[in-house]
């Protein structure tokens, strides 16, 4: 399968936004809640790098 770079970037941005929203809301499923209480809150996501052996790498630095 071949995906266009803009499509992949949009999917990654959407995923990161959902993760950020979940982190800021502090909500999670019951199975994850116990583990989340034991762990320190994650740091902010500021960059993403996707690498593959079958094509070019994609780096997103402006995901703020």
pLDDT on residue 12: 82
pLDDT on residue 34: 59
pLDDT on residue 5: 77
CB 24 within 8 A of CB 30: no
Decide the pairing of beta strands 48-50 and 58-60. antiparallel
What is the total count of domains within the chain? 1
Alpha-helical segments (H) within 2-64: 5-25, 30-38
Residue 49 DSSP SS3: strand
CA distance 3 to 8: 7
pLDDT on residue 39: 56
pLDDT on residue 43: 62
Residue 60 DSSP SS3: strand
Per-residue pLDDT of the chain (64 residues; tens, 9 = 90+): 677 878 887 888 888 888 777 776 665 556 666 565 555 555 677 777 778 888 777 777 765 4
Domain assignment of residue 45, given as a range = 5-60
């Amino acid at each position: 399968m071949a995906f266009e770079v803009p499509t992949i970037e949009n999917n990654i941005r959407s995923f990161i936004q959902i993760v950020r929203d979940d982190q800021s809301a502090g909500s999670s499923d019951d199975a994850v809640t116990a583990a989340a209480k034991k762990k320190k809150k994650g740091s902010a996501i500021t960059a993403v790098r996707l690498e593959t052996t079958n094509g070019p790498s994609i780096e997103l630095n402006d995901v703020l």
